[in-house]
Amino acid sequence: MALCARFCCGKTSNRKEKPKKQQTWRVFSLKELHAATNNFNYDNKLGEGGFGSVYWGQLWDGSQIAVKRLKVWSDKADMEFAVEVEILGRVRHKNLLSLRGYCAEGQERLIVYDYMPNLSLLSHLHGHHSAELLGWDRRMKIAIGSAEGITYLHHHATPHIIHRDIKASNVLLDSDFEAQVSDFGFAKLIPDGATHVTTRVKGTLGYLAPEYAMLGKASESCDVYSFGILLLELASGKKPIEKLSPTMKRTLTGWALPLVCQNKFSEVADPKLNGKYVEEELKRVLLVALICAQNQPEKRPTMLEVVELLKGDSKEKLANLENNELFNPTKSGSHQEGSSSAEDSTDFISEEKDEEELKEEKADHAHSS
């Protein structure tokens, strides 16, 4: 798990967010960030993980920030710092977490972001906010907003950007529950004319596209796959992978696809919604999610198409989606149980998790329990 969004799963704050001002990033002094965070006081800590800690802070003008303080002795952290600052310095979109600035003094490496008072989607679906209802209207808003943020990365940023770590903990929520896609430490720039880049696998088990997990081929389509899993998680309230026993696991797609093929959409919906959702929208979200999370990358839509489908702008395209061969019940037999043994290779493709990432997951669990 990447750390940038760690403050999204940290402790609850009753601090109210100040109105967001339009601004560009800048260089902060270490002295300024010490003052903003009360010398990185423990009471200001929002979360911690393998790359360091994230603190809440308040600047002299009253604006609230989240400060990611990296462990500088790690070459990997130094690389993440450079990548994230470069990527965030390039992008500006209402559904991408804004870079407020950074600090690189001596051995200190810090990245400054806008503070997100409603934490992350993960905290609302599975964490300490999960008891609070995330209503259907908000879920649709989050789905479309995050899709638009990723669309900007794929189709409007120059050069195009692959995120490589789309997941619930990296979708932050502002005071209006507007989605903010975060954490660009694993992101890759795609040269003009390139269809993919081959790289060491980064990301989180359950969200990784097969061709990326097995071959290291990263493309925009890998983000589309991850977003499909995220959509299923958002609609169902279930995690990407469910352990049925020590030797058996069930993927979210393997569980949901047979039900969708049988038009049992209500059985996929998050029980916490208590049936309070728009049936056509639920159906649309599930169909889009599963078409995104197909194993064959060439059959996945682009994020531009995903946004259009989620908004329901084209009845013709929605009809074509419903008639897709993926939803032919005769083709879903192999997914009927949606489970597999622990010896399956997918259990071992989480990029050979480093000790830092495992510690981070434990920290995340501790904060959300």
**Would you kindly state where each structural domain of the chain is located, as residue ranges?**
6-114, 121-354
Select from 2.30.30.30, 3.60.150.10, 1.10.510.10, 1.10.3720.10 the CATH code of 121-354: 1.10.510.10
Handedness of CA 7, 12, 18, 20 (dihedral sign): positive
* Secondary element (H or E) of residue 68: strand 64-70
Q: Write out residues in the chain with pLDDT < 70, as ranges.
A: 1-23, 49-51, 72-74, 77, 131, 191-200, 329-369
Query: What does the pLDDT read at residue 286?
Result: 98
Q: Which of 165, 183, 270, 364 is catalytic?
A: 165
Residue for token pair 């279930």: 238
Whether 165 is catalytic: yes
Per CATH, the number for 6-114 is 3.30.200.20
**DSSP code of residue 158:** S
Query: What does the pLDDT read at residue 194?
Result: 53
- Mention every residue, 6+ apart, whose C-beta is less than 8 A from residue 149: 93, 94, 95, 96, 179, 180, 181
Query: What does the pLDDT read at residue 368?
Result: 40
Query: What does the pLDDT read at residue 328?
Result: 82
Check whether 188 is labelled as a binding-site residue: no
